[in-house]
Amino acid sequence: MAELLARFGSRVPGIDISEQVAGRLADELAQVPIADDEDALRRAGLEHPDVAIAAIGEDLQPSILCAMNARLRC
């Protein structure tokens, strides 16, 4: 979804804990910091997004918690 939004001209940052994934997305997205905690989001300037989409593996609970946390920060 992020790649599609970027193709339509939106500034889309991403975040991942995997260097491999971040490297693959670096050419397509505005920025892709490698991080796994809230402090890293703050340092990357991703603290107050207009929209947040969480897609974390196959377990739904971390995605829900991430989206809720992002919503509380907006």
- pLDDT, tens digit (0-9, with 9 covering 90-100), for 15-40: 888 889 888 888 888 888 887 777 77
In whole angstroms, give the CA distance from residue 6 to residue 19.
Answer: 20
pLDDT at site 58: 77
Q: Which residue from 40, 4, 61, 27 is spatially nearest to 15, judged by alpha carbons?
A: 40
- pLDDT, tens digit (0-9, with 9 covering 90-100), for 41-61: 677 776 666 777 777 777 788
